[in-house]
Amino acid sequence: MEKPWHLYLMSLLYLLAGINHFRKPEVYYKILPPFITIKKTINELAGFLEIMFAVYLCIPIFSNLAAISIMILLVLIFPANIYMLMDEKASLGLPKWVLYIRLPIQVLLLLWAYQYVDFNNV
């Protein structure tokens, strides 16, 4: 079955995001709440998962699982977006309005992944 072009766009987005976890880890360390003490491990795991899910989205046998996994990952990383809004150092110097816009963008990303889930094959 041929996948829609926007699935490949989403895959590229997560591939680039995953690579960025390894290119600029210090950015991700700043947005992790202080109770997370294993920042390097969490950052590398998130980057690895984003890259893996990006690849798996493009493989028909795995794309359903990848879309579900992306949805779970988005829920798990949502607290970092809240923390960015609450802590000045974690905000990365972004204006408050940008930080507020990031919250519904996470929901849109979740819905974007949701459209690729085939619940008949879960």
Rounded Cα gap, residues 48 and 57, in angstroms: 14
Lowest mean pLDDT among 49-53, 113-117, 118-122: 118-122
For residue 65, is it within any domain?
yes
Half-sphere exposure of 25 (CA within 13 A, CB side): 12
Rounded Cα gap, residues 36 and 31, in angstroms: 10
Number of domains in the chain: 1
The predicted-structure confidence for 63-73, as pLDDT tens digits, reads as follows 999 999 999 99
The predicted-structure confidence for 13-40, as pLDDT tens digits, reads as follows 999 999 999 999 999 999 999 999 999 9
Residue 10 has pLDDT above 70, yes or no: yes
pLDDT at 79: 92
For residue 42, is it within any domain?
yes
For residue 122, is it within any domain?
no
Q: What is the pTM of this model?
A: 0.91
Q: What is the mean pLDDT of residues 76-104?
A: 94
For residue 95, is it within any domain?
yes
For residue 49, is it within any domain?
yes
Q: Which domain, by its residues, includes 23?
A: 5-117
For residue 17, is it within any domain?
yes
